[in-house]
Chain A
Amino acid sequence: MLSRTASDLYWLSRFIERAENTARMLDVAWNLSMMSFVTNPRDEMMAPLMITGTNELFMSRHDQVRVRDVLHFFTLDEDNPGSIFNCLRLARENGHAVRGKITGEMWESINSTWLELRELRRGGLDQFGVSAFFEWVKNRSHLFRGATYGTIMRNDAFRFLRIGTFIERADNTARILDVKYQIGAADGGETLDFYRWHALLTSVGAYESYRELYSEAINADRVAELLILGAEVPRSLRSCMKMLCEMLPAIEGEAGQTAKRLAAVQFARLQYGDLEHILEIGLHDYLTDFLRRVNELADTIREEYLEVV
């Protein structure tokens, strides 16, 4: 496969995954900010800014954190490179460039997503409904994933699409967990704490998994264990690394030795890791180290497979 094509496919799925995760993260923050016991809704809306590292960009344009502004910033704001609007625009651009490498149904799903988003943007978030919008983004991502799974050949195009998805997801899950853990550590309040962890689990679609796997009440350590080490949870760090370890060696040719090794090492650390060890290191430090490793892996994939120069 052409390196440039692989790169476009990889970024196509990264941007769609990023749009979905942004919607999930925001949905939760927004719901929490409306809870009666939340004394300062702005704290909840700060979380997405911290997770994505965009608080500086945001504060350069707004004097304070208002719920409405944060929602706009992450959804339809053309000037925020990480907004859902821009993620879906870039996904569509990447898709356009590899129009011939994806199936007609995949392209139709991306393209109609973009056309609907442009239409929807005219009416604005208020008219469409905030919750409805997040649902829509998630559904469009599900639809694309379904179209991909259901129609594309299991070749390198499929693999680079999956690699993009799991690099992005590993990064996003680690960030969501890191920030929530820090907020959780800052102040107590049992009810608020429950809702925060409940919200986090919901945001990554893992609430039902938690209930099924643990009988005990929701607590920070168990949530961390689930989202880092959970073998059965599709958004856990371990699951992401497992998929990368399946996809990378399946790519045709002998390229990418370093990428394969980095992924294998990281997967082994998660596969044979345990929570006590992680807590010994400290969750924040552990996740910071994990993010650095994911970044290194992403850079290596770029150098070994995707770089055209």
Chain B
Amino acid sequence: MLSIAPPVMSGFDEMFAREGAVRPHYSSYHGWLLGQSNSLLLRKRQEAELLFHRVGITFNVYGEESGAERLIPFDVVPRIIPEQEWRHLEQGTAQRVRALNRFLDDIYHGQDIIRAGRIPADQIYGNAHYQPCMQDVDLPNQVYSHVSGVDLIRDGKGTWYVLEDNLRTPSGVSYMIENRRVMMRLFPELFAGQSVAPVEHYPSLLLDTLQHSSAVAYPTVVLLTPGRFNSAYFEHAFLAQQMGIELVEGADLFVKDAFVYMRTTAGPQRVDVIYRRIDDDFLDPLAFNPESMLGVPGLLSVYRQGNVVLANAIGSGVGDDKSIYPYVPEMIRFYLGEEPILENVPTRLCRRPEDLEYVLEHLPELVVKEVHGAGGYGMLVGPAASREEIESFRQRLRARPDNYIAQPTLSLSTCPIFVEQGIAPRHIDLRPFVLSDGRDTRMVPGGLTRVAMNAGSLVVNSSQGGGTKDTWVVEAPSC
């Protein structure tokens, strides 16, 4: 018999309602789960690991021995979202990305939002990701963030919040697709039983988005990767293959007569769109970091002349910075004239003296993050930190208050996962992906659900031992 541990009653669980009753959209799955055994699920999990290893779905961890490969832990219990709820999330994330693209176009042109006094100018100009070289550069369709990842969480009451936006090189979409493929291989009977919205057409939507981002009629699209030692290399290779485009490294490209070419066995071939998975700083050693071996000398100049499209645009990072995040609801009102569909997590900016004072007084109960940080590095989770950690963080905060923001510790919602003892709840988040090419935003239903694999932990980042599970958007059973 499979033992199913009850959820933590103080929080929100995706499968079980407060009284322990199964939520309607999980009833079919839960019924199936009751008929399974520990040993069967264990075997299925091992089978899944074998499949992931076989197709080489591994990732490299920064700081570990070069080339060390690990599997991201995969959980066999799906995270299920009712279709109606998904529509709400879809509208909310799409609205947000539309506003962020308008914002990026605005700050690199007329800067209406600054002149209207909605965002302080120094928040833009002082931002590490603001790129002066992009000022007054006109991009096709005014699109900056072609591929956006919006991280969503739910608090103890089940309310959805946007935790952060990712407008630079958001990753994880390959896991969304491979998780689904593996689940369909392991549990075909579950997919026969109910209608789970498909996600595997994402690469074709992405290719279409990239092709439409260029004014060239039949553009040559490539994916630019830092190379096989990058943590997301598997994803780069996977997406390039699924889209049928070349996976290139910086050394494969060169600039000549104001165009970008790639070196092929048949001679140079012109490149029109670069889906780049390299940060701004490394794109062009002539314009940015001169030490970069990953980029293409002269790329920026071609880009500014409009002879190549970069997705996402140089300088998009100014829109997903944690210090800009608190202003996104204001952007939605300013550019779209709409009320935000999804809420922000209440955020304190430590650059404001009154906020800093509050944060310093409440450190043990807050989550404090570096404004430019990512991947769960450089953050303090107050309730989980030791007294020493809090004190040392206090020093850093005082030294550079503008480098930090603080948010209340939200108890992320939980979803059951399979562990040695059976089924137990763990905290999760959700990253849907939004595609923009100026015509409209498009998404596949679902996204990547990340799981904090340790009981009680709130850190879902794969670089910190987080795992993933398949995300199902299902039609609610008619009742």
Contact call B55/A4, Cβ cutoff below 8 A? no
Chain A residues within CB distance 8 Å of chain B: 1-6, 93, 96-97, 99-101, 104, 107-108, 111-112, 115, 156, 160, 251-256, 305-306, 308-309
Which of B246, B249, B251, B265 makes the CB contact (< 8 A) with A305? B265
Contact call B265/A1, Cβ cutoff below 8 A? yes
Within 8 A of A (CB), among B226-253: 228, 234, 237-238, 240-241, 246-249, 251-252
How far is A6 from B262 in the complex, measured between Cα atoms in Å?
Answer: 13
Contact call B238/A255, Cβ cutoff below 8 A? no
Contact call A100/B241, Cβ cutoff below 8 A? yes
Can you name 18 A-B pairs with beta carbons within 8 Å? A1-B266, A2-B264, A3-B263, A3-B264, A3-B265, A5-B247, A97-B228, A99-B241, A100-B238, A100-B240, A100-B241, A111-B54, A111-B55, A251-B266, A253-B265, A255-B265, A305-B265, A308-B252
Contact call B252/A4, Cβ cutoff below 8 A? yes
Contact call A3/B238, Cβ cutoff below 8 A? no
Contact call B56/A111, Cβ cutoff below 8 A? yes
Which B residues are CB-close (under 8 A) to A6? 265
Contact call A255/B267, Cβ cutoff below 8 A? yes
How far is A252 from B265 in the complex, measured between Cα atoms in Å?
Answer: 8
Which B residues are CB-close (under 8 A) to A111? 53-56
Contact call B267/A108, Cβ cutoff below 8 A? no
State whether A108 and B54 are in contact (beta carbons under 8 Å apart), knowing that A97-B228, A100-B237 are contacts in the complex.
yes
How far is A306 from B263 in the complex, measured between Cα atoms in Å?
Answer: 9
Contact call A156/B251, Cβ cutoff below 8 A? no
Contact call B241/A101, Cβ cutoff below 8 A? yes
Chain A, Cβ-Cβ closest to B244: A100
Which of A99, A108, A251 makes the CB contact (< 8 A) with B265? A251
State whether A108 and B252 are in contact (beta carbons under 8 Å apart), knowing that A255-B266, A308-B263 are contacts in the complex.
no
How far is A93 from B234 in the complex, measured between Cα atoms in Å?
Answer: 13
Residue in A100, A252, A254 whose Cβ sees the most chain B Cβ within 10 Å:
A100
How far is A305 from B267 in the complex, measured between Cα atoms in Å?
Answer: 9
Contact call B262/A2, Cβ cutoff below 8 A? yes
Contact call B251/A308, Cβ cutoff below 8 A? yes
Which A residues are CB-close (under 8 A) to B56? 96, 99, 107, 111
Within 8 A of A (CB), among B144-189: none
Chain A, Cβ-Cβ closest to B54: A108
Chain B, Cβ-Cβ closest to A309: B251
How far is A93 from B56 in the complex, measured between Cα atoms in Å?
Answer: 11
Which B residues are CB-close (under 8 A) to A115? 53
Which B residues are CB-close (under 8 A) to A160? 265
Q: Mark B42-66, 1 if CB is under 8 A from A, else 0.
A: 0000000000011110000000000
How far is A256 from B266 in the complex, measured between Cα atoms in Å?
Answer: 9
Contact call B53/A1, Cβ cutoff below 8 A? no
Instruction: Contacts A4-B252, A96-B56, A253-B266 known; list 6 others, CB within 8 Å.
Output: A3-B265, A6-B265, A99-B237, A101-B241, A112-B54, A256-B265
Which of B54, B55, B234, B248 makes the CB contact (< 8 A) with A2? B248
Which of B53, B54, B234, B265 makes the CB contact (< 8 A) with A156? B265
How far is A292 from B249 in the complex, measured between Cα atoms in Å?
Answer: 33
B82 to chain A, nearest CB (A): 34
How far is A156 from B265 in the complex, measured between Cα atoms in Å?
Answer: 9
Contact call B263/A108, Cβ cutoff below 8 A? no
Which B residues are CB-close (under 8 A) to A1? 264-266
Which A residues are CB-close (under 8 A) to B237? 99-100
State whether A96 and B228 are in contact (beta carbons under 8 Å apart), knowing that A108-B54, A112-B54 are contacts in the complex.
yes
Which B residues are CB-close (under 8 A) to A104? 55
How far is A96 from B263 in the complex, measured between Cα atoms in Å?
Answer: 20
B237 to chain A, nearest CB (A): 4
Which B residues are CB-close (under 8 A) to A252? 265-266
Which A residues are CB-close (under 8 A) to B264? 1-3, 253
Which A residues are CB-close (under 8 A) to B266? 1, 251-255
